[in-house]
Chain A
Amino acid sequence: MSWDNELLERAHKIIELYPQKRSALGPLLYLAQEKDGFISDDSIVEISNLVDITEVQVKSVSSFYSMYKEEQTGTYLLSVCKSISCEINDSRSVINSVKEFTGLENYETDQDKLFTFEEVECIGACGGAPAVQVNYETVEGLTPEKTIEMCEWLKNDKPEIIVADQLQNKFGGTKSFDWAIEDNTGSAYTVPGFQNIGTAKEKDN
């Protein structure tokens, strides 16, 4: 499906931020992923028109970056860090508990399109290893038990907006540093919640 006017309007606003249209390519790919949960062929056509490059050029860029997904993601993208600080703090057991709960292997999505699971490289939460992101919202200091609890909560409560602070308060442990300032904004898609691309959503208390 091609993009509706609302999405196109957001796209044009993003393009205006940059001296050259093509710089908006990355942010526009996030819009595509927000729309379909992955980068669809239709969106590739749409974006190639918006920034005046060929479809192959768009595809060549989208396939380079790991946050643009080629297959449809579930509602919740579970990204478990496996880099060095997490590895030596037993990220394997967190990975195993996610696998066990969801029945998924790396890069798989379940039939109900609820969870996508991936093992990722360092997410800058090494002081709170092992660390996980849900739709790019960080939780630090997880244990296998807390990880399962978190997955259960996502499955049962189906929160519309994922907020790092809420995840951390409910399920997290040791943090990389004192987060201090409570935040209510997060993401509702498998893309980072960020104002410039219109994906930052505020949660009602």
Chain B
Amino acid sequence: MKETLLLTKHMRDFPENSHNIDVYEKNNGYSALKKVLKEDNPENVINEIKDSNIRGRGGAGFPTGVKWGFLAEDEDRYLVINGDESEPGTFKDRILLERDPHQLIEGVIITCFASNIKKAFIYIRGEYAKPARRVQEAVEQAYEKGYLGDNILGTNLSLDIVVHLGAGAYICGEETALLNSLEGKRGEPRLKPPYFPAVMGLYNKPTLVNNVETISSVPWIINNSGKEYAKLGVEGSTGTRIFSLSGHVRTPGNFEIEMGKSFGEFVDTFGNGIKDDKKVKAYIPGGASAPWFTGDQLDIKMTIDDVANAGSMLGSGAVVVMDEDTNLVYAAKSIVSFFAHESCGQCTPCREGTTWLEMILERIASGRGRLSDISLLVDVCDNISPGLSWPPKMTTICPLGPSAVSPITSLLDNFSDELMKMLPTKIPIAQ
């Protein structure tokens, strides 16, 4: 198993200065932009993206070409790049922002050309100060060289990019919350319908929201054609994907591969196996929101559909490996606490439910649990996501609430013995 480098090739070839515009230009950088400007046919660009079958890399996996096709007509339309990357386990956008900002900017310009957009925002989470500095520096270089501003490269295309910092709220990764945040409001998700970004987005105008990795793929697709891109990977999961591998592996990191190989092979090849030669007890296939798989399920293929059919999601592409000595109750508590902390508070099942789940797990983890806590967990989960099915049924505005249920169902389905082990053997007397 080998990496297939499309998005991370330039940064590998020029580790010392891949972020510099001169180095980027010398190595075919901005050639995709020049190509589309020469052809001057926005429709073709959208068709190439459709041909590539690329699906969004932010988590939901929506086909990008289809999304672009939905964008409503209006004089003012916006592109917003989602660089809020905060899903625990995920650090792949960070490398794209930090090490190859011009690839993203070129993707942004092409996207705006294709959809007749004159203003784009790159929303980067507040904790990514260094990546944001690199992107801002790159934006300034691009202005100086005439890739941004009025009359880009002598054409009548104009585009301004503003890099905007978030301020520490995971929920702002949800696209409508992100738009609220960018409008200077609390980062609370909006109701869909009516607030589909493509129709009523930023300032109520049609808006494309796309992930950093999605848009960073655009220059390669334009240079090599959508059909070439679609040849990589497997049907339904075309192209490459940058997976963030962390946890108990020997060599964690970001690895760009074609989708379709098994998780086991991935962990062995790139993670170089588990530290101290331990066994895998469980792993998370797609970020903290995703239900876990067990160490016996390492042969599942890394595609959007295979993972979904096995009862989880490829989500943000974050693989977190937990070895045989991991206390999974602590692990579940960490994830549930995350969602309790990050709930925006609009929906009662999520706001109250995640807090209760956290408290119950805290009680169990501290050795003061009771047998009835198990059914209490199930009951609270059922209020957040009725039936505890996958994909989850929703009682809430956004999927954050149901995400907090994932680690608990994972525990109950496959590791209930671990939960039981944490319960005291003697029945505590009420005091």
Contact = CB atoms under 8 A, between A and B. Distances in A.
Contacts of B142: none
A181 B125 contact: no
Interface string A183-201: 1011100001111110010
B17 A196 contact: no
B186 A126 contact: no
A65 B364 CA distance: 30
A136 B253 CA distance: 21
B331 interface: yes
Most central of B16, B183, B246 by chain A CB within 10 Å: B246
A181 B99 contact: yes
Contacts of B263: none
Contacts of A27: 164-165
Contacts of A120: 127, 168
B133 A185 contact: yes
Interface string B152-178: 000000000011111111100000000
Contact of B126 (A23, A136, A174, A177): A136
Which DSSP category, helix, strand, loop or mixed, fits chain B's interface? mixed
B322 interface: yes
Contacts of A56: none
Contact of B253 (A65, A123, A177, A185): A177
A114 interface: no
A120 B330 CA distance: 16
Interface string A94-125: 00000000000000000000000000111111
A89 B331 CA distance: 11
A122 B98 CA distance: 18
A25 B16 CA distance: 36
A125 to B, nearest CB: 6
Interface of B: 11, 15-19, 76, 85-91, 93-95, 98-99, 119, 125-130, 132-133, 136-137, 140, 162-170, 181-187, 203, 244-248, 252-254, 284, 288, 318, 320, 322, 326, 330-331, 334-335, 337-338, 341-342, 344
Complex A-B, nearest 9 residue pairs according to Cβ-Cβ distance, in ascending order: A25-B184, A192-B129, A67-B168, A65-B167, A22-B184, A127-B252, A66-B168, A122-B88, A83-B88
